[in-house]
Amino acid sequence: MRDLVAETQLDVRHLVAPLFVREGIDEPQPIASLPGVVQHTRASLREEVRQLADLGVRAVMLFGVPTIKDSIGSGAFDPEGIVQLSLQDLAADVGDRMVLMADLCVDEYTDHGHCGVLDGPAGDPHTSVDNDATLEIYGRIAVAQAQAGAHVVAPSGMMDGQVGAIRAALDSAGHANTAILAYSAKYASGLYGPFRDAVDCAIVGGGDRKAYQQDWRNGAREALLEVQADLDQGADMVMVKPALAYLDIIAAVRAAVTVPLAAYHVSGEYAMLKAAAANGWIDHDVVAIEHLTAIKRAGADIVLTYLARWFAEAHA
């Protein structure tokens, strides 16, 4: 009876697996703060994505870890960059049965760790991210990712005007069919800590991203402005991130827009679950399902989660 009348369904077809691929390694590298998640080699990524496809997962979100970082993050748009090479691999292997998404940002690729290029010396308190100079770089990344086989590019840097700049760059390079999943309402959260281990990213000078990511004291008023700006600029899907502490934002965005809505169950949310479960303090499987269901119940159509493989295996 409970199944018959349940209001919310959790289905593997609505999960996206975030995956890390690192340049210049021969063996997958574990990530201490993300138990069960690794930095993949090109080869192990191919194998993982084939297995995910066989398990019924329909989409992956790729993040790259380059060997060389520089001030503008050129590894992010280099046609030989690790994500571009991996997208080519995956497009050949599973491109007809898997949605290939690529995170579009430079923080994994810059030597200063910010999501954009800087207007002064790194670490100097008077230095800011140069929003408009960053847009030009984002356009180049989008074209490189689309060229390599990405079906969806997902700008996560929270620069103003990024969706419009990326749409224009894609269209003028002949990639009108490449979709944009905008990280629209993305908060300056402490819950991204393990992710920064996963991509070897630290902000030089100990700064933060509060100048471009949202303040968690702000609710739907600001979030809906951000979402609407992205839709006006051509976003096909929008995202709220993180998920569990922002269920009110997910619900408000769901009520306000008709496009598909994604929510990102981020690294810190996953790490808290794993740590408490490892201590025997909570039941991993019960809480994992409870959390993912809550995100869907709040209104997300799509959930990005490091639990995607676990869920697919548990429900195969």
Q: Which residues contact ligand PBG by CB under 6 A?
A: 103, 105, 107, 115, 156, 192, 195, 209, 266-267
Q: What is the distance between the alpha carbons of residues 151 and 100, in angstroms, rounded to a whole number? A: 5
Q: 64 pairs with which residues across the strands? A: 21
195 closest CA partner among 275, 268, 116, 276: 268
- Judged by beta carbon, residue 157 or residue 299, the one nearer ligand PBG is 157
- Judged by beta carbon, residue 19 or residue 115, the one nearer ligand PBG is 115
Q: What is the distance between the alpha carbons of residues 165 and 176, in angstroms, rounded to a whole number? A: 13
We find the least distance from the C-beta atom of residue 7 to ligand PBG, in angstroms, to be 28
Which phi and psi angles does 182 have, rounded to 5°? -90, 125
We find the least distance from the C-beta atom of residue 209 to ligand PBG, in angstroms, to be 6
- Judged by beta carbon, residue 115 or residue 170, the one nearer ligand PBG is 115
- Judged by beta carbon, residue 48 or residue 103, the one nearer ligand PBG is 103
Active site residues: 186, 241
We find the least distance from the C-beta atom of residue 26 to ligand PBG, in angstroms, to be 25
Q: 65 pairs with which residues across the strands? A: 22
Q: What is the distance between the alpha carbons of residues 53 and 303, in angstroms, rounded to a whole number? A: 16
SS3 224: helix
We find the least distance from the C-beta atom of residue 267 to ligand PBG, in angstroms, to be 3
SS3 79: coil
